[in-house]
Amino acid sequence: MDLLVVSRQDPASSAMGDYLIKRYPFTENNGLLTRDNFVLIYIDKIHLNYDNINLNVDFPDVKIDRVIFLSKHSSSADIKSLTVHATGNYGENKLGGYPKTLSVSDPEMMTQSLRILKQSYRGEKFSVTFESTHHGPYLDVPNYYIEIGTTKEEWQDPAALFAVTEAVMLNHGNNYPNYVGIGGGHYSPKITDYVLENNVNIGHILSKHDHETADESIIRQAVQKTPRCAGFIMDKKGSRSGVREIVRGISEADGLELIVI
């Protein structure tokens, strides 16, 4: 089953959850809202506080295979966007999770969500993009965030809510190879564009903002926490030289593909 998590403290998350169950009615079953292979729950706190939510909430006779967090996106630059990203921390755990610990990413489903967002959103107000891995909570099952940014006006936008709903409910994944993204800014535009133009998936993304402290151990962890990882997609100009060398070394040592863009 896929667990959809809606936070009552997050106005965008609440709007997304309420819109979703209006378009796709769920049935209450033993206190849970269910539909097909989905379980939807409302939580009282922000998602960041729920490490291993798949284990800590009582799901009678239900096995959770993945978790999808419906969330707001905040941007000091007021960037209006529809985003997806994996969870975990390359450094400190300022926003949930554990220090220097990545969750299990969900490359097939997360990247397919990105594609459906791109197809379903017909307006010009929002950009559709990846974000790099940058906060918790920590989970040991595949999971990802899908977000609307950045203000109350955007969180209530019908076209954005429609696109997010489609990206969640009509997503059946794919069989494309999975990669770790390396480089670029927080939104990794070159990696986003490459993925939307090619039959590949992305799990974790290590943006240039984290390259100064990134070492071989955390990059190998990104590979390990990207299921069925085939290698790396690296934004060469958007990567520091030290990280480029580490990635090339891991690729050669472990027989992983390195796609340089």
The crossing angle, in degrees rounded to 10, of helices 158-169 and 11-23 is 70
Give the pTM. Answer: 0.96
- Domain span at residue 249 reads 2-260
Contact 171, 121 (CB under 8 A): no
- Domain with residue 132: its CATH number is 3.40.630.50
Q: Where is average pLDDT lowest: 34-43, 71-80, 156-165?
A: 71-80
Q: Total domain count for the chain?
A: 1
Q: Which two tokens stand for residue 230?
A: 């085939």
Q: Could you read off the pLDDT of 96-125 as tens digits, one per residue?
A: 999 999 999 999 999 999 999 999 999 999
The pLDDT of 174-179, averaged and rounded, is 98
Supply the mean pLDDT for the chain. 95
Question: Which residues on neighbouring strands pair with residue 33, listed in sequence order?
Answer: 28, 40
* Residue among 114, 118, 116, 94 at smallest CA distance from 181: 114
Q: Could you read off the pLDDT of 117-153 as tens digits, one per residue?
A: 999 999 999 999 999 999 999 999 999 999 999 888 8
Burial class from Cβ neighbours inside 10 Å (0-12, 13-18, 19+) for residue 145 reads: buried
